[in-house]
Amino acid sequence: MYTVIVVGAGPAGLMAAEVLSAAGVAVQVFDAMPSVGRKFLLAGKGGLNLTHSEPIDLFVTRYGPRHQEIGNILQAFGPGDVRDWASSLGIATFVGSSGRVFPQDMKAAPLLRAWLQRLRHPKSDVAVKFMMRQRWTGWCSDDSKSATGQTDNGNPNTHLCFDAAAGSTRSQADAVILALGGGSWARLGSNGAWVPWLKGRGVTVSPLLPSNCGFDVLLQMPSSSQSSPVKSGWSDYLATRFAGQPLKSVAIQFSNSQGVSFQRKGEFVLTATGVEGSLIYAVSSLLRDEIMATGRATFYLDLLPDMSMQRVQAEVCHPRGSRSLTNHLKSRLHLDGIKSALLHELLSKSQLNDSIALATAIKAWPVTLLATRPIDEAISSAGGVMFEGMDQNLMLKQLPGVFCAGEMLDWEAPTGGYLLTACLASGKKAAAGVLSYLHRQ
């Protein structure tokens, strides 16, 4: 019987283990964490977004520069297959108003429990063995001790070393699948520690970068002078009073220095130092790359996207009598709370009383970003093992017998089920590649 080591007990690694087990292969899944699927569980805490219901041609475009490579992977396991797979585990799904697909009960834990039950106690397949609290430390040297007593198979690429409570151990198999995740949420296991090990073996790895991330703002403080002081982050008042509050029913427009434009309506959250949330995540890759290229990125915020500039200006100019400007804007435009505070953050007193300047700020408030938040705070990461260094089955050209899957590959996608779908599909693809490799051996 063939044996395969899967390193990483996230969605990609578990899917690979499921495919191999069903084919009669003995699978050992190693992970540094005490339990499986930790990031998967946390990601589904507010409602597990499995995939998206949009047409596959549109779905594939969400993967940006790597849409062709991910599109090839999705051919064998696409969004519809994700729903069928969940159903096979007894998990009913539904399509939300945004087109996103969720489990009926919105929870990740029941799906993971059913999945692990099938992997550990299959009806006819080979049971998957889980080796928890085993941190991969790279490839073994010749003097490493074997934990399994297996006869050397002659392929040093499949001889791996792990650190466990009992000390350093060595394990080998006929093939290896690495599904180690990217560089975000290190406390859940995705810390990018594998990067130097693969680079040391000649594997080309693109730098890991934050994706679906927040940003720190570079704020132009109100002033009547031409040389306004510049401050990083919000004012103490805004950060103290409004950090964590959402900006709802707004739109942002952004064009980078390459002429690529983004415009969308939605919502995001004000943080103590900047911005984050769904609308920001949707454009985060463009914003991040622009900051890397030019040092900053500026998008324009429309506080009233459903109202024309002409209408806004007319309401601003409407006589307010004895009412304060704050009450006037609340009465005429329903602008109050965080939106009103933002206007006072941006504009000087004279500008607030200038109808054209005020209306322009309401419809196109410039928000300049200075930096991404640290990668460990990001929902996901970009960069990783480049597809050019793998064959069509996701086997590393420099390391025959070693395959890669999941977020450690060089791709990124917005939230909306795209991340999980591609992780599952790449796990299935890598497992199919392993089976083909073993057959050739």
CATH number for the domain spanning 69: value is 3.50.50.60
Torsion over CA of 176, 181, 182 and 183, rounded to 10 degrees? Answer: -120
C-alpha span between 10 and 15 (Å, rounded): 9
Domain end: 353, 372, 391, which one?
A: 372
Whether 288 and 434 share a structural domain: no
Identify whether the C-beta of residue 184 lies closer than 8 Å to the C-beta of residue 18.
no
pLDDT attached to residue 187: 87
C-alpha span between 209 and 35 (Å, rounded): 26
> Residue written as tokens 């009547």?
224
How many domains is the chain built from?
2
The first and second tokens of residue 256, run together, are: 């980078």
Whether 75 and 195 share a structural domain: yes
- Identify the bridge partners of residue 169 per DSSP, sorted by sequence position: 162
pLDDT attached to residue 226: 47
Quickly list H helices, 226-283.
Answer: 236-242, 278-282
Whether 198 and 58 share a structural domain: yes
Whether 203 and 174 share a structural domain: yes
DSSP 53: -
Secondary structure class of 90 (helix, strand, coil): coil
Whether 56 and 134 share a structural domain: yes
Give the sheet arrangement for strand 402-404, strand by strand: 129-131, 26-30, 3-7, 175-178, 402-404
Whether 302 and 416 share a structural domain: no
pLDDT values of the chain reduced to their tens digit, one per residue, 441 residues = 899 999 999 999 999 999 999 999 999 999 999 999 998 998 877 789 999 999 999 999 999 999 999 999 999 999 999 999 999 999 999 999 999 999 999 999 999 999 999 999 987 778 999 999 999 999 987 544 444 444 566 799 999 999 998 889 999 999 999 999 999 988 888 899 999 999 999 999 999 999 999 999 986 655 444 455 555 689 899 999 999 999 999 999 999 999 999 999 999 999 999 999 999 999 999 999 999 999 999 999 999 999 999 999 999 999 888 888 889 889 899 988 999 999 988 888 899 889 999 999 999 999 999 999 999 999 999 999 999 999 999 999 999 999 999 999 999 999 989 999 999 999 999 999 999 999 998
Domain end: 372, 395, 426, which one?
A: 372
Residue numbers of the domain that contains 284: 215-372
Whether 28 and 169 share a structural domain: yes
Whether 20 and 112 share a structural domain: yes
Whether 118 and 178 share a structural domain: yes
C-alpha span between 382 and 399 (Å, rounded): 23
User: Buried (b) or exposed (e) across 229-264, using 16+ Cβ within 10 A?
Assistant: eeeebbeeebbeebeeeebeebbbebebeeeeeeee
Whether 326 and 418 share a structural domain: no
Domain end: 340, 372, 404, which one?
A: 372
pLDDT attached to residue 152: 64
Whether 24 and 83 share a structural domain: yes
Whether 165 and 224 share a structural domain: no
